[in-house]
A and B are shown apart, each in its own frame.
Chain A
């Protein structure tokens, strides 16, 4: 019996000559939980995929249970030794928990599926691990957190002892995340060996036995939890050259006499914690929080997707009742949604049609749409946002991600919004387009408007915002107004 479940020896992974992993080493002891942390794009997922067998490493050695795994060993063969849990769910919602877990290898009796046996086996398995889910409920009745547990049960019930988990808590709220980490410590007690990546660093520190930090494809820290600290982990993630932003923007004179948007104790069906804050003309205010902290949910309240049940939204001194996006836009609030493909744009339609959709009713002369004026408007937007497109009649799907995002921003600008809610607007946007969007946002605020900004990259918050609100468990826990507080490591610690 070998001491280690997995050993990595100088794993190098190159994509078209670009090094995504640079001589990565670590050993996973049996019955150990190892946290794998790093910023987005640091190489965590790539490393997991190399172990799983999706990618074949450019060089380096991989051992499972002391045996070297040849390059050629397929995912199917490796599946018997390691299971991979993704953040996307692979469960069939209309089947029961037990049916999902035994999908494709159902026990049979006389040639028919033995459902009773499935349920019984799953029940035993769950009892053993302290899971209270009923094996005969349909998956669609489960909470996201419970689905994740079922996903794991499905992966390990076939006796694999090593589990790789890539951001399993990304879609979970704080409570479910806590429950999840309790669950994996139980798995460890049962002898499973686990590698888990997560942005929930506090939970990683509390639950894992050891931690590996990756930065730009290199291991920057490899330690037992007892020998390190949250501060050290964050420092290793960000590196010595952590970008400390001292910006003149924060000294930009913001008129604090009257807020443009004032939110008073709002809560809703899907968010039961009251939240209050004020936004002043000219400000770019960042919401710093982990996914599931409630940042997107507050946007949904303000934009009428999840209307406010209690509390008040005050725009320019007037109370507004926002029960739909239509109402929100009429009140001067526009959302740049998280996903431009599914929420922001109609990909089959032209730039022109997409850009003018929010104001198509206002654009009517008599009863007909005034396309002459529409063309002038869209042309102005294309110019002021520097949208690269062959023409305004080009299908949106043919534009690059950055230019698509500019069109979404253009929709907000053309509808004369006063407050723009931007949910991770720079995601998947190239650097050039990022700068141009930032310029557009800057100009927007100079005209006395305001922006609420959410980003999955902390450094974007420090770069663009005048003020940052820390969101944790649906609450605003802190407020950073001073530019000196705008440090990546400081914020990263604050949101944990």
Chain B
């Protein structure tokens, strides 16, 4: 007498109620996004053209799209119970590297150079973590510092401007119709990340490893190889952001991406990803990034200065995480 159907009678049986609560919990970031949007639209309706005017909204999404893409990579690392602190440094190095390659060799080599940086740093992180057995926090802290140094020495602190209009149009600067191309990139990578995590064996294995590494191993999963691949994936996402960032601001510079790994972690966690692994949501991470962008914009419109904004942002993250962490335990 298997009881799968037995206890499910009635629309609001215990199990259905539990699933509903689960659903609401998992949609928390989207609900919060809508609520905040309404609050800001009403309270800031009279400031300038109003919070809800399309220009402002596009601007917010454009600004947060890079963090959102970064958060896709970070969500994968976190899902597997890892972390990638080197993402910001990879953004800078790959932005500079692709700008340099663009100047000398053209668009296609520029793309491959940028991606090559992410691949290489990701592989290094993966090697240190999966095969040498270093704790991910320390391994990527090390590569973060080293590649921040690389970003500063490779052009002696000079920025490398990008003048190639095609490159700028494709990556970051342009529009497709009314839609900023960055937003399209964001949607593409959110979709890819979502499918990869939810619908491909790779994603299921990552979550299984993050949930219980031992049981994943005992289920026949090649844990080391999977973690190695995850770190390459987060490195690649960071280098994609590096290329887009360079495209958006018309050049590479060692400061781009500085600290963005922390914003990506915040966006991921706001979106419902557990910092301890096993639970992750790519779409949630995207929503988390947009939420942070919306709050930033609103704070400016409320007239807070930069430092006050930092304080509020910190408080918001703490509150958001405090209300959602129970999910993991």
A interface residues (Cβ-Cβ under 8 A, vs B)? 303, 324-326, 328-330, 335, 337, 342-349, 353-354, 356-358, 360-361, 363-364, 367-369, 379, 382-383, 386-394, 411, 415
Contact of A346 among B2, B18, B212 (CB under 8 A): B212
Chain B residues with CB under 8 A of A391: 4, 8, 15, 19
Does B122 make an interface contact (CB < 8 A)?
A: no
Does B48 make an interface contact (CB < 8 A)?
A: no
**14 intermolecular pairs with C-beta atoms under 8 Å apart:** A303-B218, A326-B220, A342-B215, A345-B212, A347-B212, A348-B211, A348-B279, A353-B207, A369-B199, A369-B204, A388-B2, A390-B15, A391-B8, A394-B15
Does B217 make an interface contact (CB < 8 A)?
A: yes
Does B187 make an interface contact (CB < 8 A)?
A: no
Chain B residues with CB under 8 A of A357: 204-205, 208, 215-216, 219, 221
Chain A residues with CB under 8 A of B49: none
Chain B residues with CB under 8 A of A388: 2-3
Q: In the assembly, what is the distance between CA of A343 and CA of B218, in Å?
A: 7
Contact assessment for A345 and B215 in the assembled complex, using a CB-CB cutoff below 8 Å: yes
Does B1 make an interface contact (CB < 8 A)?
A: yes
Chain B residues with CB under 8 A of A303: 218
Chain A residues with CB under 8 A of B55: none
Chain B residues with CB under 8 A of A386: 1-2
Closest chain A CB from B15 CB (angstroms): 4
Q: What's the tally of chain B residues with a CB closer than 8 Å to chain A?
A: 32
Does B10 make an interface contact (CB < 8 A)?
A: no
Contact assessment for B216 and A393 in the assembled complex, using a CB-CB cutoff below 8 Å: no
Contact of A389 among B4, B18, B205, B214 (CB under 8 A): B4
Tell me the residues in window 1-50 of chain B with beta carbons closer than 8 Å to chain A beta carbons. Answer: 1-4, 7-8, 14-15, 18-19
Q: In the assembly, what is the distance between CA of A196 and CA of B299, in Å?
A: 69
Does B177 make an interface contact (CB < 8 A)?
A: no
Given the interface pairs A361-B201, A388-B2, the reply to whether A346 lies near B208 with Cβ below 8 Å is: yes
Contact assessment for A343 and B214 in the assembled complex, using a CB-CB cutoff below 8 Å: yes
Q: In the assembly, what is the distance between CA of A388 and CA of B219, in Å?
A: 22
Q: In the assembly, what is the distance between CA of A344 and CA of B205, in Å?
A: 15
- Given A343-B215, A369-B204, output 8 extra A-B contacts at Cβ < 8 Å: A346-B212, A348-B278, A348-B279, A354-B215, A357-B204, A357-B216, A387-B2, A389-B2
Does B328 make an interface contact (CB < 8 A)?
A: yes
B interface residues (Cβ-Cβ under 8 A, vs A)? 1-4, 7-8, 14-15, 18-19, 195, 199-201, 204-205, 207-208, 211-212, 214-222, 278-279, 328
Q: In the assembly, what is the distance between CA of A357 and CA of B212, in Å?
A: 12
Chain B residues with CB under 8 A of A326: 220-222
Contact assessment for B3 and A364 in the assembled complex, using a CB-CB cutoff below 8 Å: no
Closest chain B CB from A7 CB (angstroms): 46
Interface core residue of B195, B214, B215, B328 (most chain A CB under 10 Å): B215
Interface of B is mostly: helix
Contact assessment for A325 and B3 in the assembled complex, using a CB-CB cutoff below 8 Å: no
Closest chain A CB from B210 CB (angstroms): 9
Given the interface pairs A325-B217, A326-B222, A348-B328, the reply to whether A379 lies near B4 with Cβ below 8 Å is: yes
Q: In the assembly, what is the distance between CA of A391 and CA of B8, in Å?
A: 8
Contact assessment for B221 and A342 in the assembled complex, using a CB-CB cutoff below 8 Å: no
Chain A residues with CB under 8 A of B15: 390-391, 394
Contact assessment for A389 and B3 in the assembled complex, using a CB-CB cutoff below 8 Å: yes
Closest chain A CB from B41 CB (angstroms): 36
Contact assessment for B201 and A390 in the assembled complex, using a CB-CB cutoff below 8 Å: no
Interface core residue of B19, B214, B222, B328 (most chain A CB under 10 Å): B214
Closest chain A CB from B312 CB (angstroms): 32
Q: In the assembly, what is the distance between CA of A363 and CA of B222, in Å?
A: 17
Contact of B211 among A335, A346, A363 (CB under 8 A): A346
Chain A residues with CB under 8 A of B215: 342-346, 354, 357
CB-based nearest B residue for A335: B218
Given the interface pairs A337-B218, A379-B4, A390-B14, the reply to whether A346 lies near B200 with Cβ below 8 Å is: no
Contact assessment for B204 and A411 in the assembled complex, using a CB-CB cutoff below 8 Å: no
Given the interface pairs A325-B220, A390-B14, A391-B8, the reply to whether A360 lies near B204 with Cβ below 8 Å is: yes
Contact assessment for A358 and B220 in the assembled complex, using a CB-CB cutoff below 8 Å: yes
Q: In the assembly, what is the distance between CA of A383 and CA of B222, in Å?
A: 30
CB-based nearest B residue for A329: B220
Q: In the assembly, what is the distance between CA of A349 and CA of B219, in Å?
A: 14
Q: In the assembly, what is the distance between CA of A344 and CA of B213, in Å?
A: 10
Q: In the assembly, what is the distance between CA of A364 and CA of B18, in Å?
A: 30
Q: In the assembly, what is the distance between CA of A106 and CA of B219, in Å?
A: 47
Chain A residues with CB under 8 A of B199: 368-369
Q: In the assembly, what is the distance between CA of A411 and CA of B4, in Å?
A: 18
Chain B residues with CB under 8 A of A335: 218
Contact assessment for A349 and B220 in the assembled complex, using a CB-CB cutoff below 8 Å: no
